[in-house]
Amino acid sequence: MADKHGPVFILRLGSRRTLVVSSWEVAKECFTINDKALSSRPANAAARHLGYNMAMFGFAPYGSYWRSLCKISTTELLSNARLDMLKHVMSGEIDIYMLERAAHTINVSAMITIAHQLSSVPSDMFPWLEWFDLGGHVKAMKAAAKEMDSVMVSLLEEHKEMRASGLAAGDRDFMYVMLSLTESDQFKELHDKDTVIKATSLGGGEARRTMTVFHFFNCAILTFGPHVVYYSATPLSEYDTVGTSVKAAVVYLATALVKLVCLATFLKVPENDNFDPYQELLKAMIGFIDVAGLYFALTQLTHRNISQNHKFQAVGLGWAFADSVLHRLAPLWIGARGLEFTWEYIFQGLEANANLVLNLSLAALGSLMWLRKNKPKTLIPIIYAFAGILATMPSITSYLSRGLGWHFPEVVGFELISSLVMAFFSWQLFSACQKPST
């Protein structure tokens, strides 16, 4: 159809005019230049009968009312503190839904049942069919709306009485917040105050996420950008060492899989977040699998036309990049799709930078231990000591956070400072082991 009618054409689905876009340039214009024209929501039976005549935020058409509700929901109802206060309610609802779904057999009949529960009604496409109420959906929605409204009215009256008597200590839930925010009658042109409170509370205060794509890319650049900068700013780019870094990344993924199996086999699931010395010692011993993997990457992988100085840098860079992708990309993406942007994602990016420096330092010391044959004997114990400290750094940071109760920013600060210190000493040891020029 796009080849026949072009990248933009309109279909009529019943009484609804539907815009079909098959070009990314036009889609970009729809969500940037013409976003207001496409932001409104079409009216349907569910929005009218279950959403208080489209007063609920998720069903409201675009306009001043929707913008005001969006601002309130984003800044007041869905802050981190408010969500943390009410997370037990959401967890309970999820548990109930999972129990209901577990009672069904996951087969074709269950899929048909779920699809039937979430289906639309014929009057959404042909409004005149609502008079006939085919299937009795409108009658069922009106009955459900009446029952939900009676519950919401009783809750609202209870909140008003407690607020008037002074028994409500602060804004403890959605309704208390909405009662405070709707005192100015800013919504009286479209809906009365009680309707707005009931609709918003029943809808859960849905809001758009505030960690935008801009924030996501900023954190992604902070996390993965230093790896690219290091590769471009050093001679690694001149010697085309991408293949070596990719091989090291594959070795890291295999090493991480072995570590995962060992951790799942030998470590028990902790009952709380308290620091367990025995478990942490066992975890530190399992962490030395990374050293074995790094040994394999430095000594067994083929590195064509790369000197020893460039070899450990390429291996360390690939090792650190794979670690950041495996441990930080998923949390960053989940955070980007969340409700609020927090500083935790910035600290995760800084932690990735410290991890890059630590991995390069460990690769440099590994190069001295396994590839350098004529190093001074007096430096050998020092090299092994610093390599042991670097290998146990995850256990050290775990002790600081769980044993001493350090917060995440403090742990990241320690990692940044310690990574710079270890890089300085590693560079000094590597320089001292170089052959004298003749």
Each residue of 131-159: pLDDT tens digit?
666 666 677 778 877 887 887 788 788 77
Helix spans in 184-307 (H) = 193-202, 213-233, 242-266, 277-287, 289-299
* Mean pLDDT, range 99-126, rounded to an integer: 55
CA dist., res. 144 & res. 166, Å (int): 33
| pLDDT on residue 14 | 66
Cα–Cα distance list, 313 to 90, 238, 256, 323, 429 (Å)? 47, 13, 20, 15, 15
Higher pLDDT, 338 or 239: 239
Which residues lie below 8 Å from residue 104, measured CB to CB, with a gap of 6+?
110, 113
When the pLDDT of each residue in the chain is averaged and rounded to a whole number, the result is: 76
Buried/exposed 15-24: b ≥16 CB within 10 Å, e otherwise = eeeeeebeee
Phi-psi region of 170 (alpha: psi -120 to 50; beta: other; left: phi over 0): left
Burial level of 209, CB count in 10 A (0-12/13-18/19+)? middle
Tens of pLDDT, residues 385-431: 998 898 888 888 888 887 888 888 888 999 999 999 999 999 898 88
Q: What per-residue confidence (pLDDT) applies to 270?
A: 63
Which two three-digit tokens encode residue 4? 């026949």
Chain CA centroid to CA 247, Å: 28
pLDDT of residue 104: 54
Most trustworthy range by pLDDT among 113-117, 121-125, 417-421, 428-432: 417-421
Confidence of residue 213 (pLDDT cuts 50, 70, 90): low
* Confidence at residue 130, expressed as pLDDT on a 0 to 100 scale: 66
What average pLDDT does this structure show over 303-315? 78
Q: Do 177 and 76 touch, CB atoms closer than 8 A?
A: yes
- C-alpha 411/C-alpha 421 separation (Å) is 15
Mean pLDDT of 372-397: 87
- The pLDDT tens digits for 18-74 are 888 888 888 888 877 777 777 776 666 666 767 677 777 666 777 777 777 777 766
Average confidence (pLDDT) over 336-357:
76
Give dist(CA 19, CA 319) in Å, integer.
Answer: 47
Judge if pTM exceeds 0.75. Answer: no
Torsion angle of the four alpha carbons 141, 143, 146, 152, in this order, in degrees rounded to the nearest 10 = -70
Mean pLDDT, range 272-295, rounded to an integer: 81
